[in-house]
Structure 1
């Protein structure tokens, strides 16, 4: 086995473990997590726009992801009525 192959094999389980918290969640939560993986920080309405999911579905997905500790949320400094969501895995 070459050094390159060994490094690739070592990095594969880490990638899988990263998504372990999301693996058994509904498809909507997985989609929201993947969108947050591509985009650093988004509001709920931005996630709904990006995912084409209804706001209610996004809200449910975010609550499930927060319960598992996969997503962090904080208040927006520019608009305190909105929360910003960031992937935590």
Structure 2
């Protein structure tokens, strides 16, 4: 029987480096990161719905998170026209 270490279960929020880079970002970016921690991967529209933030604010938050290296994106498997976002590990 294999066991799973605490490190395997740790989210990026658990690391001090992640939290330090997130600390200086605006509240909207922190909220988007928290939503992604619980529900990733999500599209920009799904993030706007889940966070109750306007699309423009979500776009700004994602740009800030990507510039900080905290969020990555890829094309959606279900709709190649859309990108989905997830926390960097």
* Smaller-chain TM-score bracket: 0.7 to 0.9
Pairwise CA distance, 1:76: 0.8
Deviation per residue, 1:19-77 (Å, 9 max, x gap): 11111001000000011111121111110000000000000000110001100100112
- TM-score normalised to the size of structure 1? 0.78
Number of the residue aligned with 1:61: 61
**Residue equivalent to 1:17:** 17
Partner SS for 1:48: helix
Higher Rg of the two aligned structures: 1
Instruction: Report how many aligned residue pairs link the two structures.
Output: 76
- Give runs of aligned pairs for residues 1-89 of structure 1, distance below 5 A: 15-89=15-89
Q: TM-score, normalised by structure 2?
A: 0.78
- d(CA) in 1 for partners of 2:32 and 2:80? 22
Distance in 1 (CA, whole Å) between partners of 2:37 and 2:22 is: 12
| Whole-angstrom distance in 2 between the partners of 1:63 and 1:48 | 14
Unaligned runs of 5+ residues in structure 1 are 1-13
